[in-house]
């Protein structure tokens, strides 16, 4: 039997072929590794990643209400009344903590047991992946009596952290517009898909209120709040069933 011919790659393979991706470039180059396929499902997964951060604040005992708003320009906002992402200067990296958290793939408060005992999402890399896959991304933070603002585009800082006013509350608001270069199938958020996930989260987190608003549908709004949590979920599931005993 004749030996099978082998396909030999003749291209030069040396140090010049080893590529180092800076910042969040790896996320943009291989989004599937982080959010799955960049289709409708991946698009909505981005919202869930940011939403999970707010839910984590609730699990840590610092958040009671989350608001999600679909805007007419195709962007979406997720805001909470948690502690607010830290804004102080990081002692090692010499940049504001919020910038480090949103631009460095492996920086965050969820890699150890320091700030969060429980955490959903991509173990602290969720929001920064969303930042990388967004045409633009903004964060507003209410903390220490001040209102802070910072802007990004495709994962890179475009506007440094600044104080834009005073605030008597605490919390974080993230607004982003999906990048059509990444999400080629669609960049349009669907109310029903988001509502389904938010209803589940509200059931699983008794006492947490989540409000969803769609500005494209005359301000259609729905609030999810279940005092009894999973018990109420079970009751809703079986209320239309016929008892067998």
**Mean pLDDT taken over the chain:** 86
Q: Over range 66-71, report the average pLDDT.
A: 98
User: Has residue 118 got a pLDDT over 50?
Assistant: no
Mind listing the pLDDT tens digit for each residue in 14-58?
Answer: 444 444 455 688 899 999 998 999 999 999 999 999 999 999 999
Model pTM score: 0.83
d(CA 224, CA 226): 7
Q: Would you please indicate which residues are annotated as catalytic (active-site) residues?
A: 49
Sign of the CA dihedral running 19, 22, 28, 34: positive
Q: How many CA atoms lie within 13 A of 110 on its CB side?
A: 22
The ranges assigned to domains in the chain are: 25-238
Sheet of 209-214, strand order: 156-166, 146-153, 134-143, 171-178, 76-80, 65-70, 209-214, 220-224
Instruction: Give the pLDDT band of residue 111 (cuts 50, 70, 90).
Output: very low
DSSP label of 142: E
d(CA 166, CA 76): 24
The pLDDT of residue 18 = 42
| DSSP structure string for 63-77 | --EEEEEE-TTS-EE
Q: Which residue has the higher pLDDT, 101 or 212?
A: 212
Cα 211 to its chain centre, rounded Å, is 16
Q: Which residue has the higher pLDDT, 114 or 189?
A: 189
Sign of the CA dihedral running 184, 189, 193, 199: positive
Mind listing the pLDDT tens digit for each residue in 205-243?
Answer: 999 999 999 999 888 999 999 988 777 777 777 776 776
CATH architecture assignment, domain 25-238: 2-Layer Sandwich (3.30)
Cα 78 to its chain centre, rounded Å, is 8
User: Has residue 133 got a pLDDT over 90?
Assistant: yes
Instruction: Give the pLDDT band of residue 121 (cuts 50, 70, 90).
Output: very low
Q: Over range 146-157, report the average pLDDT.
A: 97
Mind listing the pLDDT tens digit for each residue in 158-172?
Answer: 999 999 999 999 999
């Amino acid at each position: 039997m004749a030996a099978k011919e082998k396909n030999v790659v003749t291209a030069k393979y040396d140090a010049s072929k080893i590529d180092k991706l800076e910042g969040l470039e790896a996320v943009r180059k291989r989004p599937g590794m982080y959010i799955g396929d960049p289709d409708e499902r991946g698009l909505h997964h981005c919202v869930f990643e940011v939403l999970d951060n707010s839910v984590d604040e609730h699990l840590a005992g610092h958040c009671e209400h989350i608001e999600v708003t679909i805007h007419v320009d195709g962007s979406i906002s997720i805001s909470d009344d948690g502690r607010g992402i830290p804004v102080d200067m990081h002692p090692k990296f010499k940049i504001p903590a919020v910038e480090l958290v949103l631009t460095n793939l492996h920086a965050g408060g969820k890699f150890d047991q320091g700030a969060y005992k429980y955490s959903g999402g991509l173990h602290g890399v969720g929001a920064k992946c969303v930042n990388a896959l967004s045409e633009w991304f903004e964060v507003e933070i209410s903390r220490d009596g001040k209102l802070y603002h910072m802007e990004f585009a495709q994962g890179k800082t475009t506007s440094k952290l600044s104080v834009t006013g005073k605030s008597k509350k605490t919390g974080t608001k993230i607004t982003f517009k999906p990048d059509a270069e990444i999400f080629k199938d669609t960049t349009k958020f669907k109310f029903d898909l988001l509502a389904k996930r938010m209803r589940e989260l509200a059931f699983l987190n008794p006492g947490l209120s989540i409000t969803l608003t769609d500005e494209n549908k005359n301000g259609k709004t729905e609030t999810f709040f279940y005092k009894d949590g999973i018990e109420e979920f079970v009751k809703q599931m079986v209320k239309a069933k016929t008892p067998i005993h």
